[in-house]
Amino acid sequence: MDASPILKNVSRHIDLDTAEEQFFVSLLREKEFEKKAFVLREQEIGRDSIFVTRGCLRAYTIDHEGMEHVLQFAPPGWWIADMYSLISGKPGSLNIDAVEDATVLLLSREKQESLFARVPKFERFFRIITENSLVASRQRVLDNLSLSARERFADFCHQFPSLADCVPQKMIASYLGITPEFFSKIKSEYFRQKGPKSGP
Amino acid sequence: MDASPILKNVSRHIDLDTAEEQFFVSLLREKEFEKKAFVLREQEIGRDSIFVTRGCLRAYTIDHEGMEHVLQFAPPGWWIADMYSLISGKPGSLNIDAVEDATVLLLSREKQESLFARVPKFERFFRIITENSLVASRQRVLDNLSLSARERFADFCHQFPSLADCVPQKMIASYLGITPEFFSKIKSEYFRQKGPKSGP
DNA sequence: CGCGACGTTGATTTGCCTCAACGATTGTGG
DNA sequence: CCACAATCGTTGAGGCAAATCAACGTCGCG
């Protein structure tokens, strides 16, 4: 298991000595998923925080009409989880699957608690990344309230320029809250005046 | 200053001895705001986490067309802040003002850090309430993606039955992402078949 | 009392959805 | 390695949910 990506991620917010690093890594399980494989299904209990080292995951719900709604994409270096299920211990409503073949590191809630007990700094680490996620999620709420579909599309292109390469359009459309058909129309209109693959 | 509401709030997630309680309370500043007074304006730096003990605050942005978009209401017992500004130290885009006369307790980021240093349990407390906020915010994103205006309205009525009493309709409309006019139409249609103020 | 903010209601418009038909690409079993 | 199906993306015609615009009633407050 190559733990360097996750150690680099952790070191963005806290400093660990070698013993702490080793203890942390000893709690992780590495797992691989093929494209379209489920990491977590709705109604299951999500017991793990998931860190992606290769490929891309996605979290989404299915509504009463069978439509998918994408909550999050997780490319390498990102954390993903059904946090409702994780903190309540109850069945969640999120599906998490692999957009493309992926490798992840899993940290169960149980092991996370023992990590907090032995290396309290991690309490700080997870507080900080949760704060950052909250800022991003709230910004997304505001974007949905205040921006048109075209504006949200343009924002997405700037915020995640690389995701379009590995994620099907219909999933991005779903993330933006529009239909695949309308996404296609917006996109062609957008690149008509910007030139395909950006300007000068 | 009556610190019992905030101590009760804290005790939901961590246990404090008397010395810890006293130290925590010593870091708080109490402040009052009249209806419509600003707690924080956009472009200012939000240095405080805000706990409401009386009245009601609201956080919102103003878009390029001058329209307000409500991100959050904070009745008594709720925390509110411009977390982007709080954690980055940069000017934020949120306005926070009083929907009605309010009393709040302020904890500056600086004092919060000294609190973490002296009583590490608070690192845990804020991690947990941030996790809960994140769950709620993500659920709201999903609601905006998957529900109609009518469904969001009905959800809001169940989730915050008491807010309608102290918050003007146009602010609730803004929170739900609809116009005041359409809110009015939905509302009359909703109560036509449920009876005003709910059934038996 | 009179003014301004708020809420209501109706007529009209519009951004985005639905439905349908059609290429392009992917992938899969023979 | 190819035939075929399945999935995906594109394009157009028509429809609907919610916005906009406008007029009017009501309430709180100076």
Nearest residue on chain B to A127, judged by CA atoms?
B127
Among candidates B69, B127, B134 on the partner chain, residue whose Cβ is nearest the Cβ of A137: B134
Are residues A58 and A104 located together in one domain of the fold? yes
Does residue B159 sit within a domain? no
Q: B148 CA, C19 C1': separation in Å?
A: 20
Q: Are A84 and A92 in contact (CB under 8 A)?
A: yes
> Which pairs from A60-63 meet CB under 8 Å and 24+ separation?
A60/A94, A60/A95, A60/A174, A61/A93, A61/A94, A61/A95, A61/B142, A61/B146, A62/A95, A63/B146
* DSSP secondary structure letters along A11-79: HTT----HHHHHHHHHT-EEEEE-TT-EEE-TTS---EEEEEEEEEEEEEEE-TTS-EEEEEEE-TT-E
Measured distance CA(A52)–CA(A73) in Å, rounded:
11
Count other Cβ atoms within 10 Å, centred on residue A165.
7
Find, in chain A, the residue whose alpha carbon is nearest to that of B70. A142
3-state secondary structure B69-130: EEEEEECCCCEECCHHHHHHCCCCCCEEEEEEEEEEEEEEHHHHHHHHHHCCHHHHHHHHHH
DSSP 3-state percent helix, strand, coil across chain B (nearest 5): 50, 25, 30
Q: DSSP assignment, residue A197?
A: T
A16, A54: one domain = yes
A100 and A143 both lie in a single domain: no
Looking at the domain assignment, is residue A45 inside a domain? yes
Cα angle A23, A24, A27 (rounded to 5 degrees) comes to: 90
A164-168, B109-113, B189-193: segment of lowest average pLDDT: B189-193
> Do A15 and A105 share a domain, yes or no?
yes
Nucleotides of chain C in contact with protein CB (under 7 A) are 6-11, 15-20, 27
Cα–Cα distances in angstroms (integers) from residue B9 to residues A124, B3, B133, in the given order: 20, 10, 14
CA–CA gap between residue A10 and residue A105 (Å, rounded): 13
**Residue B195 above 70 pLDDT?**
no
Q: Which of A90, A130, A140 to substitute to test the interface with B, most B CBs within 10 Å? A: A130
Whether A155 maps to a domain, the answer reads yes
3-state SS assignment for residue A136: helix
Provide the pLDDT for residue B191.
87
Backbone phi and psi for residue B141, each to the nearest 5 degrees, phi listed first: -55, -50
Assign A97 to helix, strand or coil. strand
pTM of the model: 0.95
Contact A115, A125 (CB under 8 A): no
> Among A99, A7, A115, which residue's Cα sits nearest to residue A59?
A99
Distance CA(B116)–CA(A76), nearest Å, equals 31
Min Cα distance B46 → chain A (Å) is 14
CA B111 to the chain's CA centroid? 21
Measured distance CA(A40)–CA(A42) in Å, rounded? 7
Domain boundary residue among A89, A123, A157?
A123
| pLDDT band for position B199 (cuts 50, 70, 90) | very low
Q: Is residue A199 part of a domain?
A: no
Instruction: Round to whole Å and give the CA distance between B95 and B109.
Output: 18
Give pLDDT tens digits for B115-174.
Answer: 999 999 999 999 999 999 999 999 999 999 999 999 999 999 999 999 998 999 999 999
Q: Which nucleotide is nearest, taking the CA of residue A180 and each C1'? A: D9
- Give yes or no: residues A21 and A112 share one domain: yes
Distance CA A182, CA A64 (A): 22
Residues A73 and A166 occupy one common structural domain: no
Whether residues A153 and A56 fall in one domain: no
State residue A191's pLDDT score.
Answer: 86
pLDDT along chain A (200 residues), means of 10: 96 98 98 95 97 97 95 98 98 97 97 97 97 98 98 96 94 98 95 58
B38 falls within a domain: yes
Does the CB of B136 have a partner CB in chain A at under 8 Å? no
- 8 Å CB contact of B135 and A83: yes
Are residues A117 and A58 part of one domain?
Answer: yes
**pLDDT bucket at B192, cuts 50 / 70 / 90:** confident
Residue B146 has its nearest CB partner, among A63, A83, A134, at A63
Any domain includes B196: no
Sole residue written with tokens 């706990």: B51
pLDDT of B200 higher than 50: no
Integer distance in angstroms from the first to the last C-alpha of chain A? Answer: 42
Mean pLDDT across B92-116: 97
Is A158 in the same domain as A96? no
Partnered with residue A147 across adjacent β-strands are: none
Average pLDDT, chain B: 95
Least reliable range by pLDDT among B8-12, B104-108, B143-147, B187-191: B187-191
Termini Cα distance of chain B: 41
Question: How high is the pLDDT of residue A200?
Answer: 34
C-alpha–C-alpha distance, residues A124 and A198, integer Å = 40
Q: Which two tokens stand for residue B167?
A: 């918050």
Best CA proximity match to A187, nearest among A172, A175, A177, A166: A172
- What is the structure's pLDDT at B198? 45
Tell me the two tokens of residue B190. Answer: 């909703």
Are both A37 and A119 inside the same structural domain? yes
- Number of domains, chain B: 1
Residues A155 and A112 in one domain: no
Say which residues have a Cβ less than 8 Å from residue B9's Cβ, sequence separation at least 6: B51, B77
A101 shares a domain with A15: yes
Q: Where in the sequence is the domain holding A54, given as residue range(s)? A: 1-123
Q: What is the pLDDT of residue A195?
A: 56
Is residue A35 in a domain? yes
Indicate which CATH number applies to the domain containing A90. Answer: 2.60.120.10
Q: How far is CA A148 from the centre of its chain?
A: 24
Residue in chain A closest to B126 (alpha carbons) equals A127
The string of pLDDT tens digits covering residues B83-100 is 999 999 999 999 999 999
User: Residue B78 falls within a domain, yes or no?
Assistant: yes
